[in-house]
Structure 1
Amino acid sequence: MTSPPRHTRLRPTDLLRLGLIGPRTRKTRSALSALGICLGIAAVIAVTGISSSNQAHLLARLDRLGSNLITVAPGKGPDQRPVPLPPTAEKMLANIAPVQEVTATGATEAEVYRNDLVPKEQTGGISVLAARLNLLDVLHVTLRSGKWLDRASENLPVTVLGDQAAQRLGVTAPGERVWLGGQSYIVGGILAPNELVPELGTAALVGWPRAQAHLGADGTAATVYLRPHPERVPDVQDVAGATANPANPGLVAVSRPSDLLMARSEAKGALTGLVLSLAGVALLVGGVGIANTMVVGVMERRGEIGLRRALGARGGQIAVQFLLEAVLMGFIGGIGGLITGSLAVYGYALAQGWPVSVPLYTIVAGPSVSVLVAAVAGIYPALRAAGASPTDALRSA
């Protein structure tokens, strides 16, 4: 009595060869299906990589500028008008234990023009401020050209212009003269832009003693800048208002400019969700493309399926063959998307002068997601192929 034939299992290498039959014989159709997955993964990698590179660039700039800067300025009263800081505010704030550096600017009654022929109503939105000598050191502001005020020039008709103020006045280099407070002032220097203190960009800065003697400054700080210990910034923020104006702490505006930069970065990051949604649509389209290719492949290869079933291939082996074809297309598309997206991040970051940063989780998740999408897309065609009757398949071939 003969024993029934035993079911045999295909080795992994045999399964791999079977899975490559479809991509090798239908190269163009398979490539187009994999392209959909490739574009989706490339979009995910590019969006997350560019956002991460932008964040790395911002954090690096904050580290150079110092994210521990606190600004104390007049708040608004019930009539919505600024309430000046008390004359003791600057000194009192300097006495807070964690505060390491303090500087200030003061308001003046002066206006600045290119020359004395410019009409008085055309101020150009430029403010004239009294400045402490340590202003640049505390704020980490640099000069684009020229020199900063010193012990001698703070008593003389010398001004240092912000970058935007110089542009509006038509000043291109130190040594030129402007009409400030009804007198000719020489421009000693021009500041470089600084994201943490943009208000200095539209200001003409003069020495504190000069402002008090000739420009109507009362010696009271209009804005006080603090540099506390980095780990004690929240503590200083909590007490700065009450310290500057103990009688009315609610009339003091305390802010941390670096928080504004981070908020701006997060606002830009909100667009990332939209772009990722579009990338998800691209992945979905790629998955549908793979499913369509596999369904058409099942219909076109019914003769092959029937012949294999007639020779003893089980339905599960047929299903695995077609599922492997889908997964291979997804894997190829995922690797292609990873390479394309990484190149896009590298090129964009290089053009912007940013550090290149591609999150590790996207490198791992990209191909993994593409394989998962392809596997889901290939389940139905694989089951359809596995359920085909050998006689019907051979008859319709």
Structure 2
Amino acid sequence: MTGDGAASGRRRGRLRAARLSPGDVIRLGGTGLRTRPLRVFLSALGIAIGVAAMIAVVGISGSGRAEVDRRLDSLGTNLLRVAPGDSLNGTKAKLPEEAVSMIRRIPPVRQVAATGATDAHIYRNERIAIGRTGSIQVLAADADLLPAIGGHIGRGRWLDSATEDYPAVVLGATAANRLDVYTPGTRVWLGGRWFSLVGVLDPAPLAPEIDGAALVGRPAARTYLRFDGHPSTVYVRAEDSQVTRVRAVLPATASPAKPGEVRVSRPSDALAAREATESALTGLLLGLGGVSLLVGGVGVGNTMVISVLERRPEIGLRRALGATRGQIRTQFVAESLLLSLIGGLGGTVLGTAITAGYALSRDWPTVVPVWASAAGIGCTLGIGMIAGLYPAVRASRLSPTEALSGT
């Protein structure tokens, strides 16, 4: 045999270590965990407690924040009012008839509705003296006004497509008291003709001016009260995080030709306070979560180091049977990842259960951000890999004779 043929034969006869498939790696890692169930349970429990603490803190604070948002929404922190200011010649300016439709095009705007002032007056009957108006203002109202101002019907019904075209009126709570009229179906003298009362509103704390007003549908106001179509107040609900930006563009949007003649209310101070609180709370939550995960990672690393020391004979036997250093490293890293995954999943379930129980006990909405669960499991796997890498490298460096000798 020539020299080239002998070398080729030696290459063909050289033994190669078998490659481990992903299934083999998972089985190897699982075998190492199953042989020490109590230690694995305690280590996984430490990880689970850390992840559960992070998710519970994030979830409970998120649920509390949702409750605060709900209450602040009822206080109108994201409610802006657009009204005409004074024109350059000192007279009262007017908003364009298209102001509502133009404001509705702003992306962060959730709801928009308007009322328009009329010159009409309302009386209990036609025999009341003209001057005794009771300071009740008659307003043309959009059909979607109530959701925008957070109003509610106390009796009867609100104006809708079936009533806004006809002589029908809804009274605010104060206006109903002044007229001493509360029963839907009662006729009132409005604008020189009879209108039918269809509803009475509960007090509207976000828009107290509505309490002392009589509300008529915009189509009916045009037909019976000579309403000119110009809104006198536009109520705008925007996304909480975008209220300041929406306020900045409202004048030019409501009246592109004369933005200087538009007045916009300033955002509530409660909204700014909430944004500052959320920023500080987010930093606190990230700090607590990081400490919890670090504690869990230390537990994983400690478990894997002890596992390497206890399993030196096993490592030596596997090396003697042909396992490579890379396979030994892969085995111990897989064990570390499986241990971290078990703890991360258990902690996610436990943290979600704690959040739900606490939120239900306080009658809060249950909020567990998806990012918190994903971050908990992802960070746990990352920390588990880092914590298991040193023991895995240490195990792979053991020679077969050194490992079998137990020294």
TM-score of the pair, normalised by structure 2: 0.57
Write the deviation string for residues 319-348 of structure 1: whole angstroms up to 9, x where unpaired.
111111111111101111221222233334
Task: Report whether the alignment pairs 1:336 with 2:336.
Answer: no
1:266 is aligned to 275
Let me know the Cα RMSD of the aligned residues: 5.1
State percent identity of aligned pairs.
Answer: 40
Q: CA deviation at 1:142?
A: 4.2
Q: For structure 1, which segment, 275-284 or 374-383, has the greater mean C-alpha deviation from structure 2 after superposition?
A: 275-284
> C-alpha separation between the residues in 2 aligned to 1:89 and 1:139?
30
> C-alpha separation between the residues in 2 aligned to 1:12 and 1:230?
51
> C-alpha separation between the residues in 1 aligned to 2:60 and 2:309?
43
Contact (CA 8 Å) 1:36, 1:282: kept in 2 or not? no
> C-alpha separation between the residues in 2 aligned to 1:332 and 1:304?
24
Letter in 2 for 1:324: A
SS in 1 for 2:114: strand
SS in 2 for 1:313: coil
2:385 is aligned to 375
Task: Report whether the alignment pairs 1:326 with 2:327.
Answer: no
Please point out which of 245, 266, 270 is paired with 1:255.
266
How do residues 249-328 of structure 1 correspond to structure 2 at under 5 angstroms? 254-257=265-268, 260=269, 262-270=271-279, 271-328=281-338
1:180 is aligned to none
Contact (CA 8 Å) 1:303, 1:396: kept in 2 or not? yes
Contact (CA 8 Å) 1:19, 1:322: kept in 2 or not? yes
How do residues 176-187 of structure 1 correspond to structure 2 at under 5 angstroms? none
> C-alpha separation between the residues in 2 aligned to 1:298 and 1:261?
57
Contact (CA 8 Å) 1:69, 1:226: kept in 2 or not? no
Q: CA deviation at 1:156?
A: 7.2
Contact (CA 8 Å) 2:153, 2:201: kept in 1 or not? yes
Task: Report whether the alignment pairs 1:388 with 2:398.
Answer: yes
Task: Report whether the alignment pairs 1:101 with 2:110.
Answer: no
Q: CA deviation at 1:305?
A: 1.8
**Structure 1 residues 265 and 348, CA gap change in structure 2 (3 angstroms):** farther
Contact (CA 8 Å) 2:77, 2:270: kept in 1 or not? no
> C-alpha separation between the residues in 1 aligned to 2:47 and 2:174?
67
SS in 2 for 1:20: helix
Matched length: 307
Write the deviation string for residues 166-215 of structure 1: whole angstroms up to 9, x where unpaired.
xxxxxxxxxxxxxxxxxxxxxx99848x5xx4x96xx9x8789xxxxxxx
Contact (CA 8 Å) 1:154, 1:206: kept in 2 or not? no
> C-alpha separation between the residues in 2 aligned to 1:151 and 1:393?
90
1:167 is aligned to none
> C-alpha separation between the residues in 2 aligned to 1:66 and 1:306?
71
**Structure 1 residues 290 and 149, CA gap change in structure 2 (3 angstroms):** closer
2:357 is aligned to 347
* Structure 1 stretches lacking a partner, 5+ long: 74-84, 105-129, 159-187, 209-223
Please point out which of 9, 12, 23 is paired with 2:33.
23
> C-alpha separation between the residues in 1 aligned to 2:375 and 2:277?
23
2:235 is aligned to 227
Write the deviation string for residues 143-175 of structure 1: whole angstroms up to 9, x where unpaired.
889x975797565799xxxxxxxxxxxxxxxxx
> C-alpha separation between the residues in 1 aligned to 2:307 and 2:91?
79
Contact (CA 8 Å) 2:317, 2:404: kept in 1 or not? yes
> C-alpha separation between the residues in 2 aligned to 1:10 and 1:150?
78
Write the deviation string for residues 91-120 of structure 1: whole angstroms up to 9, x where unpaired.
64666852552499xxxxxxxxxxxxxxxx
* Structure 2 stretches lacking a partner, 5+ long: 1-8, 101-112, 118-134, 156-169, 182-199, 215-231, 240-245
**Structure 1 residues 245 and 368, CA gap change in structure 2 (3 angstroms):** closer
Q: CA deviation at 1:373?
A: 1.1
